[in-house]
Amino acid sequence: MMKYLDHLEEAIITFLMGAATLIIFVSIIHRYAAGLPIPGIQVWLIQLNLSWAQELCIYMFVWMAKFGAAYGVRSGIHVGVDVLVNRLPAEWRKKGVLIAIICGTIFTGIIGTLGATFVWENGLHYALFHKLGIPTGDVPEGPITPDLEWPTWFIYSAVPLGSYLMCFRFIQVGLQFLKTGVMPHAHDESHVEGLEEEAIEHSPLTPAKSDLATGGTVK
């Protein structure tokens, strides 16, 4: 189950990043190409409405940031100031890390709850009741976005969804730390697997295999 959640999280981030980059690229090309006096094509480009592209990309980057923050907790790529924790005695260091994880869990849980309340009152309440055929009464329908004309509650849903996922990741990391005493660390992109071993193998200080077989020593 956790494997599918991890893959879904990574897929959402990858899709949002790739799609937003593509939309921005197409929008920029369209903007400059529409100013070129090319017969027929210029008129078609001017009539092509891409005014919604900037707004959509902003929303996509917001969603990407919220889910990316949760991914950062899981993989340990968030920037942290651990000077104080490292100066603590060994028996207090683990407690300091746990306190930081608990604070992160509480904070993201509060933000998620506040975000869910805001989304509910900003139009989700009306949309859900309207979809189920329940009388809405005086429940407000909620505003829509300027260009895309999407309900804003859908856009703001990134806050509770991303925050609750981040809260879950803090709990997951905390339980793992209690069991193993190790925090997740980001992979060092500058490190190439096998490179250090290959360098040692070809080092002049490393004896050849034939020397080792005959009982030779390093000179």
Q: What is the pLDDT of residues 45-101, one digit of tens each?
A: 888 889 899 999 999 999 999 999 999 999 888 766 667 777 778 778 888 889 989
Q: What residues contact 113, with CB distance under 8 A and at least 6 apart?
A: 160
Distance CA 3, CA 8 (A): 9
Tokens (6 digits) for 156: 């703001």
Q: How far apart are the first and last CA of the chain?
A: 56
Where the chain has pLDDT below 50, the residues are 189-190, 192, 195, 199-200, 203-205, 212, 218-219
User: What's the pTM?
Assistant: 0.78
Instruction: Parse the chain into domains and list their residue ranges.
Output: 2-182
Mean pLDDT over each residue of the chain, to the nearest integer: 84
Question: What integer pLDDT is reported at residue 41 of this predicted model?
Answer: 84
